[in-house]
Chain A
Amino acid sequence: MSQETLRIQKISAHAGAVPGEGTQREFQVCKLIDTTTCIGCKACEVACMEWNDLPFGQTVFDNTYQTMPDTRWNYWNLIRFNEHETEDGTLMWLMRKDQCMHCADPGCLAACPSDGAIVQYTNGIVDFQQANCIGCGYCITGCPFNIPKFNSETKRVYKCTLCADRVSEGLEPACIKSCPTGCLHFGSKDDMKYLAETRAKQLRDHYNFPKAGVYDPPGVGGTGVIYVLHDVTEPENYGGLPKDPHIPLTVKLWKGPLKWLGNLAMVGGLIGLFVHYLRFGPKSRDEEFETKREGEQP
């Protein structure tokens, strides 16, 4: 897998060809999170901060088992906690590891106006390149998962890299390595899909979770992070996992039809004015109206 991450298939705001675009049979990496075996120990949160050398910030206690209300520019990995009561009155503690989903069709990248500030490697990892980031925050608007976080001091945006640096050296992401229960897995998308479906079937057939299933939302082309959920029909219960995430409609309109309409109108307008000038010319000639300034009497 070495050098895998050096090949790029999508580049934000790039005018021109992308070297790795349309590469065939690429090896897609994937992180599988089995929420049914997560105990909420936060080892992955710590491992993430450690490996990525993120400066420590204060946590916020809100009477739950959640470290803070939301991910931060320096806290990319958060176990979201929700106390959920099922229809038959069973109390459940739902733990979901929240981080960048590494969408196949990333809204952040679609929205970004800066060449190369966001790239997608051919292995599927979506990575922010802070050196190229202009800090406009469009990615925040494009992301359906509320992931990119702005640092007001550096004026740059940060998020989980899926440990692209480790993955390129053939290692698993730091969170995977730290998980004590084995609820985190890492491998090819195909393998993880297979493993997830097997686990979901086991939950349906043997553990009385008839709605168990795999969360790999097609609205964003599938994701590089997939979940096994006890109840896949209500992902919102898991700390607000969106049911059918899409790149927001207005972002699509803005980057699609509006862009073409606008460009056409601007170029058409310029050509139109030029042709008008050639056809009709000015309303008056300089000689007609130009009285000499410098005090000279005509």
Chain B
Amino acid sequence: MSSDSSHNVSYLDYKGRWKGKITSWIFSTDHKKIGVLYLFSMLILFSIGVLFGFLMRLELIAPGKTIMEPQMYNSIFTLHGIIMIFMFIIPGLPAIFGNFFLPLLIGAKDVAFPRLNLLSWWLFMFGSLLAILSVFLPGGPVDTGWTFYVPYSVRSTTNVFPALIAAFILGFSSILTGLNFITTIHRMRVQGMTWFRMPLFVWSLYATSWIQILATPIIGITLLLVVMERAFNIGIFDPSLGGDPVLFQHLFWIYSHPAVYVMIIPAMGIISEIIPVFARRTIFGYKFIAFSSIAIALMGSLVWAHHMFTVGMSPTAMIIFSVLTFLVAIPSAIKVFNWVATLYKGSIQLDPPMLYALGFIFLFSIGGFTGLIQGALSVNIHIHDTSFIVAHFHYVMFGGTGFGIFAALHYWFPKMFAKSYNMKTAKFSFWTLFFGFNVLYFPMFVMGWLGMPRRYYDYLPEYHIYHFISTIGSWIVVIALVAMFANFIVALRKKEKFTEENPWGGETLEWKTSTPPPLENFDIEPVVDSHPYEYKMNEPDQDLLKEEGTK
């Protein structure tokens, strides 16, 4: 309905007052461009994280030294954790797909505070560059583990300081994004879009944003306290000055456990978008899925000490945290059951986004079940800080959130870039990734149960076979990721445009605008008069993307 000059211009072509190719991107306040900026910066960081993981596995292929010294290994697993957690998994889905699609999904022109949005990206880049820079500063890369446990982080002579400041700045970026999304969801929904007509991805972003706003300041302050402890020897955490190192762990996990849900809830939201589209029917139990996100956000804030069952807490605390840990599994289980029920009497097509969604359900379920194993106190005392935990959180973070991000990428890529990717390559990379993932991480459950501690540079000969299989798995995963990214890069470089508005036959609003979306998202403001996944039961549109695979 707008009559200004931006009418009908693709967001990709619009330059505004910035004439340069690069400046028209990095100073753009368009939520879609910011989403794309995040996408590329995070994929670069992700690739660095993968490289570190690959090197770690290579070192562990045989006992003794293989390719690096222990100090190097300790820095590499620390950086792998810091990059993957603070720069990819936590901010990933909200920053990339939340930015790009939240306004589209609720029929808005942009987020509530576009300039603040751009500032969050700049803060993100600043924090990330600082972390990368710290690798090259004298002192050597940080070696404390991504958890920065005191007293080690106070004593380590490596560049802990810049790493802490980097994490602090990244936290700010998250808070601003969260604030922006909450305001956007409250204030900018198009007419007719009531709360219960919002797509489930929007619900998941809403729950996530609240956690980011409420919990991130705690980690920010905690990390600053460690900085001050290192600089001025205050004695808050350092036991040699009368401080309490366990206090640090409490403060750290009060943020970092809810952060686990910041990572997983938006991925669950993506899955809830994708399954109805490819089953071509409405979602089963909409309200249960929506409210379970809120329930996870609330309950997830009260289970942090399950990371500390061996630290020596009172029996009462142990019971409460164990019970709550078990209960927080329930809303996740409800989601899984509703997703599976959504397949019932659908008309299912296994396109790449759907494959990733179903892969998510399987891998996330394994992650969830092994979480229950850890929630049991007596078992936890045995497997805590072993590779069982490493396997568990990779099933949740990579098999869950990672697969969720890849699902979203395959689902929305044509809409974002107006290019189509090769379906066969996409399916090949999915199956390779799925297979390699299990080869890589499943052996870690076994050796963890047998007593292999985590963060070990070396190991006893009896664990050799498991480490060996795991390393082979890491190669398969790398092959799959290279195939996936190559597929997208080839697609981006293609000359021909893909302008099909709705290639998958989705019902949500992003499919009701042109491909790529115009600058202000909709040429004609959409009208919402029903539930987001109300399939009219008509024959499927022709699948333009499908022809790609048959070439």
Chain B associates with chain A: no
Give A residues with C-beta under 8 Å from B. none
